[in-house]
Amino acid sequence: MKEYLIKKNIPDSVIMVDNKGNNTRLTVENVLEIQKRHPFKSLIVVSRYFHVTRTKKLFKDKGLKDVESVSPVYFEWRDLYSILREFPAYYTQ
């Protein structure tokens, strides 16, 4: 996703990448830890289209209200599985 942003002329200096989040909840927790060191009031979630809704919900549940999103536009066959997985994941996390 970082490469996608750089291709869209987003400066590397404003991109935060979470390489430690093995799942969505951990990514949210990791980013909130980063926020303690580098205060910010808003963020843009960059992920696959089927994943951003749940990610934004988890951030908002943790108190970060100004959360937007963007996704690259492409489709892979495994997206069918991922879309189906997101529905129950949204309601159980």
User: What is the tens place of the pLDDT at every residue in 46-74?
Assistant: 887 777 888 888 899 999 889 988 877 76
* Full DSSP string of 6-62: HHTT--GGG----SS-SSHHHHHHHHHHHHHHS--SEEEEES-TTTHHHHHHHHHHT
Q: Which residue has the higher pLDDT, 85 or 69?
A: 69
At 29 the pLDDT is: 92
Whole-prediction pTM: 0.72
pLDDT tens per residue, range 14-39: 888 888 877 888 889 999 998 899 88
At 24 the pLDDT is: 83
pLDDT exceeds 90 at position 3: no
pLDDT band at 41 (very low <50, low <70, confident <90, very high): confident
At 87 the pLDDT is: 66
CA angle centred on 40, ends 34 and 43, rounded to 5°: 90
Instruction: Give me the phi and psi of 65, to 5 degrees please.
Output: -85, -30
46 has which bridge partners? 70
